[in-house]
Amino acid sequence: MTAAPAAGLRGLEGRVALVTGAGQGIGAAIAARLGDEGCRVAVNSLQPAKAAGTAERLRGAGADAHAFPADVADASQVNDMVSGIEETLGPVQILVNNAAYLDMERMLDQDPAIWNRMIDVDLTGPFNCARRVLSGMLAAAWGRIVTISSIWGLIGAKGATAYCAAKGGLVEMTRALDAEVGSAGVCASALAPGIIDTPQLASDAGFAGISLEEMKARYATEDLVGRIGTPEEIAGVVAFLASDDGAAFRGQTVPVTGGRSE
C-alpha cells in the first residue's frame, strides 16, 4: 500500500492515532498514511485477523502499529479497546471514525435488525469512540476527531436509507461536537468521500444487478474527473484534517468526491 507523497503536513509526527475499520479499504489506507506521517497507529477492525494484517503491513513499512479489534457499536468494547491503546501507546490524540457497515436494500424490504445494525455501527460507533477519547484530548488541549461521512450523507442514495441517515447524522454530529468542545487545539471535522474503489463497490454492483466493472465504469462517468477515487486520496485528506492545518475546517464536512453531485 503506497501512500501519497507527504504534503508538508505539520503536527502529526509521534501522535497516537486510532483508525477504526482499518482492516481494509479506506481505513487501511488511512492507517498506512498516518503511519507514513510518523503517527503511532492503533488499527481497529471488527475482525481480529484483518486488524492484525493491517498492523503487520504498517510495521513492515516502518510504522509503530498495533491491532485492537473491537466492535465500535459496543460501548463496552470501545472502552476496553481505548484502555488497551492507552496502556500500549498512550492517550489517543487522533481519532479517525472510519468503521462503517452498508447493506444495500430498498427501505420497504429492509430487515429492522439490519437497519439497527447500520445505525449502531455508522452513527453510534463514532459517538462511542469520540466520547471515550475526548477527555484525554481536552486534558492535553490537543486532539483531532476526523469522521468519515459520505457523499451519500449529503445527497442520499437509493437502497441506502439507513446508511444515508447515519452518514447525514455524522455531518451534524461533527458540527455539534466541535461547537461543544472545539478549539484550535481540539477539533472535530468530517470528510465526505465520493465513490471510492473499495470492496464495498461489489455490494453496489449486486444491488444494481450489474458486474463490478460495469459499476465502476458507470460511477466513473458520473464524476467530473472521469474516474472513481482511490482509498489513498481519501487518506491524504484525512491526514490533512488531522494535521495542524486541519483546524481550519473544524466543525465542517469536506467533500472529496471528484466533483460528484448526484
Partner 1 sequence: MLVIAAAAVDEGVAELAQSLGELGPTLLLTPGGDAAPGGAAAVAAADLTTPEGAARDWPAVEEKHGPTESLVTLPSPVPSSPTKVADVTDDLWSACLRDNLFVAMHAARAAAPAMIERGHGRIAMVTWRLDDPAGYVALAAATGAVRHLARTLASEVGEQGVTVNAVSVAPGRLRDAAPAIRLLRSPDGGFVTSENLSPVGVTP
Beta-carbon contacts of 164 under 8 Å, excluding residues fewer than 6 positions away, are 150, 152, 153, 156, 157
Query: How far apart are alpha carbons 20 and 78 in whole angstroms?
Result: 10
DSSP 109: G
CB of 149 to partner 1, least distance (A): 14
Cβ closer to partner 1: 207 or 219? 219
| Catalytic annotation, pick one of 152, 163, 207, 219 | 163
Cβ closer to partner 1: 49 or 224? 224
List of residues contacting partner 1 (CB under 8 A): 4-5, 7-8, 184, 194, 223-226, 229-230, 233-234, 236-237, 239-240, 244-250, 252, 254-259, 261
CB atoms within 10 A of CB 74: 17
Cβ closer to partner 1: 2 or 135? 2
φ, ψ of residue 141 in degrees (nearest 5): 60, 30
Could you confirm whether 163 is annotated as catalytic?
yes
φ, ψ of residue 185 in degrees (nearest 5): -85, -45
CB of 51 to partner 1, least distance (A): 25
CB of 232 to partner 1, least distance (A): 9
Cβ closer to partner 1: 202 or 248? 248
Which contacts of 219-227 are long-range, i.e. CB under 8 A and separated by 24 or more positions? 219/195, 222/195, 222/260, 222/262, 223/194, 223/195, 223/257, 223/258, 223/259, 223/260, 224/258, 224/259, 224/260, 225/258, 225/259, 227/258
Q: Buried b vs exposed e over 154-174: b needs ≥16 C-beta within 10 Å?
A: beebebbbbbbbbbbbbbebb
Cβ closer to partner 1: 62 or 226? 226
CB of 11 to partner 1, least distance (A): 11
Q: Which amino acid, 237?
A: V
Q: What is the radius of gyration, based on Cα positions, of the chain?
A: 17
> Would you please indicate which residues are annotated as catalytic (active-site) residues?
163
